[in-house]
C-alpha cells in the first residue's frame, strides 16, 4: 500500500561547475552508472564525468571534432553516442559519432539521416544494425549488458489539456499559478514536479510531495536567465537535477 513506509528525502551530493551546464547524459552500466556533462563558457566547451557511486568528478579531454551541433543519443560502458545535426533552419541528422569518454577520443563516425530503434548496444536502421560500441554494421548478437536505469518525467505543455488539472491543483493546495508547462514523475511513495511561475520574472520551481500532497521538499531551481535546458531525472533510484545552470544536485532513494 502506498505511503506505509516513512517518506523523506535526503540530499547526498552537490557539485558546482564553473561553466553553464549545457547538456547531460548517462553511461557506464546498471552496476556503475556515470553522468556525462557538457559545460560552456562563452564558446569554450568542456566535458565532465561524475561517478554516481562515489560521486568523484573528473574532466574528460574535449575533442575538437565534438564542437558541432549534436544531441546525446545513448551511453554504453565508456562510449558516448551522439546524433550529429545539420546547421540551418532545418537541422536534421547527418551522422552518428561515438566517443571514448575515458580519453575523449573520437572512435567512429557513421553517415546517417534516420534510424528506426535503439536496441541495447545496437541501432537499427534501414541499412542494417549498427554496433554502437564499434560503429560497424553487423548482425545483432545476444549480449548480456544492462544499461543505466533512468526515467524522465512526463511533460505537459501550456496547450495540453492535462496541464489545466495541475494548475487547479496547485492553486488549491499551494497557492501557486503554474504558467508555461510542468514536468511530473510518480514514484512508489513520492510525486515530483518541476514547473514555471511568473511573478516579476520567470521562476523554475521544484516540489517533492507525498501522495496526499504533503510537501517534503521545495525550492527555486533558477530565475530569469539562469533557467537552464535540463529537467530532472531519476537515475538508479536517485533524483538528479541542475540548479542555476551551474550546480548538479542529487537526492537519494526517491
Domain borders along the chain are 19-148
More confident residue, 155 or 88: 155
107, 50 contact by CB (below 8 A): no
End-to-end CA gap in the chain: 17
C-beta neighbour count of 88 within 10 angstroms: 8
φ and ψ of 167, to 5 deg: -60, -45
Give the model's pLDDT for residue 102: 95
In whole angstroms, give the CA distance from residue 239 to residue 150. 10
* Strand arrangement of the beta sheet that strand 93-100 belongs to: 70-76, 79-85, 93-100, 105-111
Of 18-32, 79-93, 238-252, the poorest mean pLDDT is in 79-93
Prediction pTM value: 0.89
C-beta neighbour count of 223 within 10 angstroms: 16
68, 95 contact by CB (below 8 A): no
- Cell triple for residue 189? 511513495
The contacts of residue 29 (CB under 8 Å, 6+ apart) are 77, 145, 146, 147, 148
C-beta neighbour count of 239 within 10 angstroms: 24
Helices (H), 33-177: 161-174
Q: What are 31-84's pLDDT values in tens digits? A: 999 999 999 998 899 999 999 999 999 999 999 888 888 999 999 999 999 999
Name the nearest CA neighbour of 63 among 107, 111, 108, 106.
106
Q: What are 125-179's pLDDT values in tens digits? A: 999 999 999 999 999 888 777 888 889 999 998 888 789 999 999 999 999 999 8
- Cell triple for residue 66? 565534438
- In sequence order, the β-bridge partners of residue 97 are 82, 109
In whole angstroms, give the CA distance from residue 228 to residue 57. 21
In whole angstroms, give the CA distance from residue 49 to residue 27. 9
Amino acid at each position: 500500500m502506498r505511503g506505509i513506509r516513512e517518506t523523506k528525502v535526503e540530499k547526498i551530493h552537490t557539485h558546482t561547475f564553473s561553466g553553464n551546464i549545457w547538456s547531460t547524459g548517462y553511461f557506464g552500466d546498471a552496476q556503475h552508472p556515470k553522468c556525462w556533462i557538457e559545460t560552456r563558457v562563452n564558446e569554450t566547451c568542456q566535458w565532465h564525468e561524475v561517478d554516481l557511486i562515489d560521486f568523484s568528478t573528473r574532466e574528460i579531454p574535449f575533442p575538437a571534432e565534438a564542437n558541432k551541433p549534436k544531441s546525446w543519443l545513448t551511453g554504453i560502458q565508456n562510449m558516448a553516442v551522439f546524433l550529429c545535426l545539420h546547421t540551418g533552419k532545418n537541422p536534421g541528422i547527418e551522422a552518428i559519432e561515438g566517443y571514448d569518454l575515458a580519453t575523449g577520443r573520437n572512435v567512429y563516425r557513421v553517415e546517417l539521416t534516420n534510424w528506426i530503434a535503439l536496441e541495447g548496444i545496437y541501432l537499427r536502421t534501414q541499412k542494417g544494425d549498427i554496433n554502437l560500441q564499434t560503429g560497424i554494421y553487423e548482425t545483432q548478437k545476444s549480449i548480456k549488458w544492462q544499461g543505466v536505469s533512468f526515467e524522465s518525467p512526463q511533460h505537459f505543455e501550456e496547450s495540453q489539456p492535462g496541464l489545466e488539472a495541475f494548475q487547479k491543483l496547485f492553486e488549491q493546495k499551494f497557492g501557486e499559478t503554474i504558467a508555461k508547462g510542468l514536468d511530473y514523475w510518480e514514484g512508489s511513495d513520492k510525486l515530483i514536479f518541476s514547473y514555471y511561475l511568473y511573478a516579476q520574472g520567470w521562476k523554475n520551481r521544484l516540489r517533492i510531495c507525498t501522495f496526499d500532497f504533503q510537501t517534503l521538499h521545495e525550492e527555486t531551481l533558477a530565475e530569469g536567465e539562469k533557467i537552464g535546458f535540463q529537467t530532472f531525472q531519476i537515475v538508479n533510484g536517485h533524483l538528479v537535477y541542475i540548479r542555476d545552470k551551474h550546480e548538479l544536485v542529487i537526492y537519494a532513494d526517491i
